[in-house]
Structure 1
């Protein structure tokens, strides 16, 4: 255990000094490998190469690219128009539109940051023009953007499933269920809030307008159908589906919506290389750390410690719940997934928790960190979009964060809400 503790301490010290996460993790691993183990240094390089020599991991940059293409290719506008025609007539209309459009965009981009920067910006401005307080408009879109990390094709879910050796297709489907439930809870709260405070402007329902918006959005809506339909039926793998989705989005954006030109594609690819490189660099750096944790017996030690506290599954999951929220607030979610899954998975399996449920639970809980200080990237993106003081956004977001927290408590007590539909569909 001493080597694992030394590695984690070094990692935290480097992070505190402002060293990038991937460099901090890699440097801590190499130092511990050289000074505290008999492994040759070449093992670090070999494990890093092995982690990227994976067909599954190719899906990550492809999904990121697909999200950017949608953002710049006119897809976001069509989805917003459809959502407004669908639910804009309900009390608190544009608030419901914000939730629905975030859910729809989540099913295409897989990125919470992309959601708040594109759909979020458009939705916040529309809400504010219609008389909603700007803080409220920002909070509902900030919380809604978190759904992109849960609803397929979630990039975080792919990383977690691949690390836990869980079927990616099953994990993506399992993420859809809590994502839809949380979205429905958001809409109920928005309805009650708007009715109580008498705010919000409703647009009259028009079947003709809905039909027109739906027809216009069909090319955009086919993206998740093509992507997830093929994955769930086994016609192609998630990686092949991601590649097909990228090609399809390019063709739709250029030839149907005409918001992109072929000359824009290299620029978008180069822009995404930066964010892709950040995620994959963390994945590479985490591999030697996982190797040392395994060598030091950390996973089994943590499993024994957790099962020593209690053998009750619900008690253990609530303890992990509190722990993961704290981790998500201070550590990048991608890094946390690659570090924690190999350590915690044996422990939760020992008390009877399904690996599939654990993957979904882990991703939702770590996603809190995207919208909470001090490292919430979506929180800072929302501030950039609105120019509101950070403290006002945080205060307005508290009720929405509380709703997600309550939903997670229900999932812990009744895990079948997430796992049973997947078992019925996949038969296992």
Structure 2
């Protein structure tokens, strides 16, 4: 088992270092492993396994939420949300940083994508912060860290991927991310206020009810998007996949009929961008199906679970080891790739030591939110740095305080699971959700 895993990971990381796309690298490693262990007779099944792996119905939510985010980027929805956040928070010292956090949380509730969030909001807010005296490194850091709340808050795309891989309820995963996401936003706001006082960042404007009311009126239809999406999903009126379709229809209606600001050219760009992002994710999913089939048939996950269980069966110690593993993997893998690669291997261990899969999924996604901020991969941080034209390592230094906040949220959710999972327990009336045995 150890030799098989070692060879597969060595081959995978070797190809990644050669700049082979990770989806291609995963597929090549899986095909070679199947060929060497099972012979050429099994190769005709490769296409069928990949097709079945990428056609799971809940996965349809991913391109739809990506498309909804693209529509927001192409219309004035993002700008209206920023104006509302500015009217609410601009009177606080360092108000633009607060606006960035608030806008990112609004955007996360609609698109589910951290990269889309930093691209949409960062292009407007990072130049504004630089013009008001914020360093470009700080502007990139707060934009990047707040955008990563999208991986925790519903409708998180990584949570959808995990739910499909682990065969758990997408809605349970969404509900589990509510309190951690709000706690993360509050923690980032507190850290940004501390930096604002320390560095004497400016107050943007005095609070005015008239400005707040005007901004609210202009953004009221944009604010209806998360209400419709999450209200429909949590209310049981639609599934997560159907909610994604509702998000697209609502975004199109608001952008074209209400605001009348989405033309055919912008819609075409949103479609193309959405198709490209979806293709990358779905190729990863299809390739991972091959890896999953090979590992399952070779009983590698079960062997790994038994090996770790021989060291400890204490669920908290297991979670500690997994946190270390995922924080390291997050430095080198995108969130989708990390979920797809690790969940089939780790899930038997989770089940063996009695950790609730919803709790584990929340811990995993929190780790990957931090991984989006830690070089060398750091997809969200790199996107923010490209907008701010800042050095990634200098930006990482400026981001340390915000990373500490995200790490604190991770520790709370890991070792005080009832805090994060209380809404899920209440919603389903099941106090056993998230409960762990005492060893």
Deviations 1:60-86 (Å, cap 9, x if unpaired)? Answer: 111111111101111110000111111
Conserved? CA contact 1:6–1:32, under 8 Å = no
The residue correspondences of 1:266-285 to structure 2 (distance < 5 A) are 266-285=268-287
Structure 2 gap segments, 5+ residues each:
431-439
**SS of the residue aligned with 1:371?**
coil
CA distance in 2, matches of 1:357, 1:152: 15
Alignment match, 1:106: 108
Alignment match, 1:195: 197
Conserved? CA contact 1:4–1:292, under 8 Å = no
Structure 1 gap segments, 5+ residues each:
none
CA distance in 1, matches of 2:30, 2:140: 40
**SS of the residue aligned with 1:91?**
coil
Alignment match, 1:89: 91
Query: Is the aligned partner of 1:19 residue 2:16?
Result: no
Alignment match, 1:355: 357
CA distance in 1, matches of 2:352, 2:64: 35
Alignment match, 1:173: 175
Deviates more, 1:267-276 or 1:149-158: 267-276
Shift of 1:42: 2.5
Alignment match, 2:152: 150
Deviates more, 1:9-18 or 1:274-283: 9-18
Alignment match, 1:6: 7
1:115 is aligned, of 117, 123, 128, to 117
**SS of the residue aligned with 2:262?**
coil
Conserved? CA contact 2:95–2:202, under 8 Å = yes
Query: Is the aligned partner of 1:36 residue 2:37?
Result: yes
CA distance in 2, matches of 1:22, 1:138: 28
**SS of the residue aligned with 1:330?**
coil
CA distance in 2, matches of 1:271, 1:185: 32
**Alignment TM-score, normalising by the size of structure 1:** 0.96
Alignment match, 2:436: none
1:255 is aligned, of 254, 257, 268, to 257
Alignment match, 1:140: 142
Alignment match, 1:210: 212
CA distance in 1, matches of 2:8, 2:44: 18
Alignment match, 2:410: 408
Change (3 A) 1:264 1:131: closer
Q: CA RMSD in A?
A: 1.6
Deviations 1:282-320 (Å, cap 9, x if unpaired)? Answer: 000000110111111111112112222222222211111
CA distance in 2, matches of 1:188, 1:263: 41
CA distance in 2, matches of 1:263, 1:140: 32
Deviations 1:139-184 (Å, cap 9, x if unpaired)? Answer: 1111111111111111111111111111001101111221110110
CA distance in 2, matches of 1:59, 1:352: 30
Alignment match, 1:382: 384
CA distance in 2, matches of 1:268, 1:73: 10
CA distance in 2, matches of 1:32, 1:95: 49
The residue correspondences of 1:339-350 to structure 2 (distance < 5 A) are 339-350=341-352
Deviations 1:87-136 (Å, cap 9, x if unpaired)? Answer: 22223322211111111111111111111111122122222222323322
CA distance in 1, matches of 2:53, 2:170: 17
Conserved? CA contact 1:131–1:201, under 8 Å = no
**SS of the residue aligned with 1:166?**
coil
Alignment match, 1:66: 68
CA distance in 2, matches of 1:8, 1:156: 22
Conserved? CA contact 2:161–2:336, under 8 Å = yes
CA distance in 1, matches of 2:16, 2:207: 52
**Alignment TM-score, normalising by the size of structure 2:** 0.94
